[in-house]
Structure 1
Amino acid sequence: MPLEKIGGQVFDIAQEKPTDVWEVEALYDLCFAPGREALSSYRLRDNVQRVPELCLTARDGDGILAGAIRFWPVLVGNAPALLLGPVAVHPTRQGEGLGGILMRASLGRTDELGWPRVMLVGDYPYYSRFGFEKLTGVEMPPPTNPDRVLGIGDWDGITGQVRKWGSKLI
Structure 2
Amino acid sequence: MTTLSLVIRPERPEDAPAIERLQARAFGPGRFARTAYRLREGAIERWDLGVTASVGSFLVGSVRMGPVRTGAVRFVMLGPLAVDPSFAGRGIGGTLTRAAIEAARQAGEGLVILVGDAPYYSRFGFSPIPPGRLTLPGPVDPTRLLWLELTSGFCAGVSGLVEAVRT
| SS of alignment partner, residue 119 of structure 2 | helix
1:44–1:74 Cα contact (<8 Å) kept = no
Displacement after TM superposition at 1:35 (Å): 2.9
CA deviation profile, 1:1-23 (whole Å, cap 9, x unmatched): xxxx832x211111122221111
Q: Distance in 1 between matches of 2:164 and 2:49?
A: 18
Q: Distance in 2 between matches of 1:11 and 1:133?
A: 28
Alignment match of 2:27 (pick from 5, 27, 32): 32
- Name the aligned partner's letter for residue 142 of structure 1: G
| SS of alignment partner, residue 155 of structure 2 | coil
Q: Which consecutive unaligned segments of at least 5 residues does structure 1 have?
A: none
Instruction: Tell me how large the CA RMSD over aligned residues is.
Output: 1.7
Displacement after TM superposition at 1:164 (Å): 2.1
| SS of alignment partner, residue 155 of structure 1 | helix
Per residue, is there more helix in 1 or in 2?
A: 2
State the TM-score, normalizing by the size of structure 1.
Answer: 0.88
1:140–1:149 Cα contact (<8 Å) kept = no
Alignment match of 1:70 (pick from 46, 64, 68): 64
Q: Which consecutive unaligned segments of at least 5 residues does structure 2 have?
A: none
CA deviation profile, 1:82-104 (whole Å, cap 9, x unmatched): 11100011111111111111011
1:140–1:146 Cα contact (<8 Å) kept = no
Displacement after TM superposition at 1:79 (Å): 1.1
- Name the aligned partner's letter for residue 157 of structure 2: G
| SS of alignment partner, residue 127 of structure 1 | helix
Moved over 4 A (4+): none
